[in-house]
Amino acid sequence: MSRDKSTIKPTEAELTLLNILWRMGPATVRQIHETVSQTQTTGYTTVLKILQIMHEKTLVIRDESNRAHVYAPANSEMVTQSSLLKDLVLKAFGGSTSKLVMRALDNSTSKEEIEDIRQLLNQLEQQS
Amino acid sequence: MSRDKSTIKPTEAELTLLNILWRMGPATVRQIHETVSQTQTTGYTTVLKILQIMHEKTLVIRDESNRAHVYAPANSEMVTQSSLLKDLVLKAFGGSTSKLVMRALDNSTSKEEIEDIRQLLNQLEQQS
DNA sequence: AATAAGATACGAGTATTTTCGTATAAAATA
DNA sequence: TATTTTATACGAAAATACTCGTATCTTATT
């Protein structure tokens, strides 16, 4: 049961930091650590280390021109979300995106959300 | 960055075996291993061990009345898919299911799929 | 200039997941 | 009955992910 190394799938800890970077924009380790600390107790050097690993994996880029390096996501939130969805579609939905979509929708979905999705479906139909 | 132990989220290897069980129905280790071997090279005792761990975690149930135990999923494919989606919504879509749905849909979605989803939306609207 | 504060690098410990070899028991077969 | 085949259990190694302490360097402060 080997893993696919071609896909750059962030681990959970990495995804936590990516989420912060998408919200904050480029940030130093200190800034990121402060934000993480609002919801978790994680050491400063732990955050630093994970960012260094993410840099090796090219999940983030960094500006080293100043002493405190400034980290930024290598890929947009959109691209990463799509990648994570693609992975889940393959591993849990037999490759069928529509099955995933239909499973995601349930009676907790609001009228507004339903309307938003309808509009997107209309747009997609026009394009094809 | 600790993990949530309350949620029973299968690991990747575990999900692989669950997929097989959902397709095959209840099966022995040997049967499961044979199926796994069609796409991967994994030892017999590796599959056995993972099933034993899954049994401890109650991801599967098993019938021990015969020498060769018969394993079956503890939860339906539907329940597990929903659980995995919920997890992804929280960790990568800020808790918004509609954002996930809209990201999942793109111009590779076929007309048939679009129509299927439309019908589901109609049904949901009626219920609420 | 000396000291303190703040930064990165890096090794290594811990936890989790995946892997498989070996021991042992039960059943089939010779 | 003896032997071979086929099971499970279990320990532990290997791979991956997460955590942090300490060394070292740079900048700021006294």
**Per-residue model confidence as pLDDT tens digits over B34-60:** 999 999 999 999 999 999 999 999 999
Please give the C-alpha separations between residue A16 and each of A22, A32, A110, B68, B86, in angstroms, as whole numbers: 10, 10, 27, 43, 16
Whether residue B18 is predicted with pLDDT greater than 90 in this model: the reply is yes
In A 58-117, which Cβ lie closer than 7 Å to strand D? 67
Average pLDDT in the B26-37 region?
98
Give the distance, in angstroms, between residue B90 CA and nucleotide D22 C1': 36
For residue range B64-117, list pLDDT tens digits in order: 999 999 999 999 999 999 999 999 999 999 999 999 999 999 988 999 999 999
pLDDT of amino acid A127: 83
pLDDT of amino acid B128: 66
B23 CB below 7 A from strand D atoms: no
Contact status of B45 with chain A (Cβ, < 8 Å): no
Average pLDDT in the B20-25 region?
98
- Exposure pattern of A10-48 as b/e (b: 16+ CB <10 Å)? beebbbbbbbbbbeeeebbbebbbebbeeeeebeeeebb
B87-116 residues touching A, CB cutoff 8 A = 88-89, 91-94, 97-98, 100-109, 111, 113-114, 116
pLDDT of amino acid B127: 83
The number of angstroms, rounded, from the C-alpha of A32 to the middle of its chain's C-alpha atoms is 16
Model confidence pTM above 0.90: yes
For chain A, 128 residues long, give each residue's pLDDT as a single digit of tens.
Answer: 544 434 689 999 999 999 999 999 999 999 999 999 999 999 999 999 999 999 999 999 999 999 999 999 999 999 999 999 999 999 999 999 999 999 999 988 999 999 999 999 999 999 86
Calculate how close chain A gets to B32, using CA atoms only, in Å: 13
The side-by-side arrangement of strands in the sheet containing B70-73 is B27-28, B70-73, B60-63
Contact B1/A13, CB-based, under 8 Å?
yes
pLDDT of amino acid A128: 66
For residue range B95-106, list pLDDT tens digits in order: 999 999 999 999
User: Are A16 and A59 within 8 A, CB to CB?
Assistant: no
B11 HSE (CA, 13 A, CB side): 11
Please list every residue in chain A whose beta carbon sits closer than 8 Å to the beta carbon of residue B19.
Answer: 91-92, 94
